[in-house]
Amino acid sequence: MSLFIYNSLGRTKEKFEPLNPGIVTMYVCGPTVYGHAHLGHAKSYVSFDVVVRWLRHSGYQVKYVQNITDVGHLTDDADEGEDKISKQARLEKTDPMEISQFYTRSFYEDMDRLEVQRPNIAPNAAGHIPEQIDMIEQLIKTGHAYEVNGNVYFSVESFPGYGKLSGRTDQDAVQSGVRVEVRSEKRHMSDFALWKKAEEGHLMKWSSPWSVGYPGWHLECSAMSMKYLGETIDIHGGGMENKFPHHDCEIAQSESVTGKPYVRFWMHNNMVTVNGIKMGKSLKNSVNLKEIFNDIDPLVIRFFILQSHYRSQLDYSETAIKASATGLEKLRETQRRLRGQKPGTGSFDITPYQRRFSEAMDDDFSTPVAISVLFELSKAVNSALDRSEGISLLSLQQAEAFFDTSGRDILGILKQDDQDHNREIKGSTDKFDAIMELLFELRAEARKNKNFALSDKIRDELLRLSGIEIKDTKEGQSWSFKS
């Protein structure tokens, strides 16, 4: 089966084939680094992380670029207000460079904990001012842009398809709802800034042929995408809220320069809501990742995100997270059980599960369905293992391999080996094992003597003090870390 991706441009699922066989070029809009990452960032980058992982699993070499926006863009309307990074610098009594560096590191820390693989190239906007200036010069030369008082604007009338991505092709209609007063120096109300002259006191500014100033926000993605991935890229991802104007502007300026299609597949992920309302920094209801991670395993958040489709809104609530945590624990439990299992004689066919998993992923990255396949496999495996004949060595190995491939490599929700991972944290494996062996012996003896008070105390206290859970099973005692 082949991969189908929902293309926002055209609003249908289309069969995906890269422009150049075997190689996929992919660009995703990165964060503006002036604050800690929140759940919305997690949804976006986890979703696209799975896209990249699936493409790679499918045999493609993926060149994945995700930018860091570290040029201050404005807090307020299109042409007034303080820039966000400068504002944060003022609040934190430091300078913009430190702000962007600090929050860039913070962003990667959080993404690492979510098991989001780093992009191949993570260019920052401030490091690509010459490229952006070049692009403006070309746009002016070809009549797509004009300069007024040190500001440069893109002329939307020079690009007939403007607004085709968002469906906002009638600019008079668009402008009728605009709540911001328009600068009269623009030729058309919808024209957008490519370069802005720095106001008095503006900290992040660069020299250009037009003024000492800074580039418009839409420009960086076009310039960096072209520099690292070429004039036409296979996939461009981003949040739905950026369809208009950001992505429509990118298309206009890029295609005006190259005369070629800018992006073949546009992918837009949906928003996170909290109690049904959009989460936003300005609404003061944003859920900071570092704060959630104090209480919740980051992989539970990742799992929670992937349990809904990337194009669906995700509503955050404590009960929903709790349900996800229990569900993920179930899959981990099965994974552990598979690992420690003695082979039996029963046969078990995992190919239907592999096939359904692949079909789900090939259908526009349907992670909720893919996860449901893992649950069904989990149930089938447990059922089989509960029977006396068990599962043969070969089938056990296949099931374990499939859990590793799907749960760990592709979805990123399962670790390779919890136990080993946790033992590493504990330090000396041998000594630790010896201690556990001793506790097992003490409990076995106590239980033999019907001293259940003692055996239960060892079990309960160990769980309470260290989070290590002992279970009594038919095969004997086992332990695992309970997160």
Partner RNA sequence: GGCGAAGUGGCCGAGUGGUUAGGCAGAGGUCUGCAAAACCUUCUACAGCGGUUCGAGUCCGCUCUUCGCCUCCA
Interface residue with RNA among 251, 350, 371, 414 (CB under 7 A) is 371
Options 108, 244, 432, 479; binder of RNA; rule CB under 7 A: 244
Angle 318-339/393-402 helices, nearest 10 degrees?
Answer: 150
Q: Would you list the DSSP string of 138-192?
A: HHHHTTSEEEETTEEEE-GGG-TTTTTTTT---HHHHHHT--SPPPTTSSSTT-E
With binding defined as CB under 7 A, does residue 32 bind RNA? yes
Among positions 96, 245, 298, 407, the unique one binding RNA when judged by CB under 7 A? 245
Whether 375 contacts 383, CB under 8 Å: no
Which residues on neighbouring strands pair with residue 471, listed in sequence order? 478
Kindly state the helix (H) or strand (E) to which residue 131 belongs, with its residue range.
Answer: helix 129-141
User: What are the two backbone dihedrals, phi and then psi, of residue 37, each rounded to the nearest 5 degrees?
Assistant: -70, 150
Least Å from the CB of residue 251 to RNA: 15
Among 369, 432, 462, 479, binds RNA (CB under 7 A): 369
Distance CA 239, CA 250 (A): 14
Q: How far is the CB of 77 from RNA (least distance, A)?
A: 5
379 binds RNA (CB under 7 A): yes
Q: Does 91 bind RNA (CB under 7 A)?
A: no
- Interatomic CA distance for residues 151 and 199, integer angstroms: 11
Q: Is 200 in a helix, a strand, or coil?
A: coil
Q: Residue 47 and residue 457: Cα distance in Å, rounded?
A: 44
Interface with RNA, residue 389, by CB under 7 A: no
Per 3-state DSSP, the chain is made up of helix, strand and coil in percentages (nearest 5) of 50, 15, 35
The answer to whether residue 43 forms part of the interface with RNA (CB under 7 A) is yes
Give yes or no for residue 157 binding RNA (CB under 7 A). no
Three-class DSSP category at 471: strand
Q: Which of 185, 199, 452, 467 binds RNA (CB under 7 A)?
A: 452
Q: How far is the CB of 454 from RNA (least distance, A)?
A: 9
Of 196-204, 257-265, 324-332, 403-411, the segment contacting RNA by CB under 7 A is 324-332
Nearer to RNA, 198 or 271 (CB): 271
Shortest reach from residue 130's CB to RNA, in Å: 21
Count of residues of this chain found to bind RNA when the rule CB under 7 A is applied = 96
Which residues in the 246-265 window bind RNA by CB under 7 A?
A: 246
Structure tokens at 26: 């992919």
β-bridge mates for residue 196, sequence order: 214
Adjacent-strand bridge partners of 74: 83
Site residues for RNA, 114-143, by CB under 7 A, read: none
d(CA 52, CA 237): 11
Surface-to-core class of residue 294, CB atoms within 10 Å of its CB (0-12 exposed, 13-18 middle, 19+ buried): exposed
Task: Check residue 280 for interaction with RNA (CB under 7 A).
Answer: yes
- Say whether residue 236 binds RNA (CB under 7 A): no
What is the secondary structure of 246-298 as a DSSP string? IIHHHHHHHHHHHSS-SEEEEEEE--EEETTEE--GGGT---BHHHHHHHS-H
Task: Please state the closest distance from residue 237 (CB atom) to RNA, in A.
Answer: 8
Which of 105, 187, 431, 471 forms a contact with RNA (CB under 7 A)? 471
Nearest-angstrom CA–CA distance, 382 and 404: 17
335 is a site residue for RNA (CB under 7 A):
no
Of 386, 425, 465, 476, which lies in the binding site for RNA, with binding defined by CB under 7 A? 386
Q: Toward RNA, which CB reaches closer, 216 or 412?
A: 216
Q: Which of 312, 347, 416, 466 binds RNA (CB under 7 A)?
A: 312
**Minimum Å distance from CB 33 to RNA?**
9
CB of 172 to RNA, least distance (A): 9
Applying CB under 7 A, does 151 fall inside the site for RNA? no
- The correct pick among 11, 284, 448, 464 for binding RNA (CB under 7 A) is 11
Within residues 165-224, the interface with RNA by CB under 7 A covers: 166-168, 170, 173-174, 176-180, 217
- The radius of gyration computed from the CA coordinates of the chain, to the nearest angstrom, equals 27
Provide the minimum distance between the beta carbon of 351 and RNA in the complex, in angstroms, as a whole number.
17
* DSSP letters spanning 55-82: HHHTT-EEEEEE-BB-S--BSSSSS-S-
Work out which of 23, 91, 212, 323 binds RNA, going by CB under 7 A: 323
- The region of 142-150, 202-210, 253-261, 312-320 touching RNA under the rule CB under 7 A is 312-320
Q: Is 459 in the site for RNA (CB under 7 A)?
A: yes
461 scored as a contact of RNA (CB under 7 A): no
Specify the residue, 13 or 105, whose C-beta has the smaller distance to RNA. Answer: 13
Q: Which residues between 410 and 449 bind RNA (CB under 7 A)?
A: 447
The rounded distance, in Å, linking the Cα atoms of 394 and 399 is 9
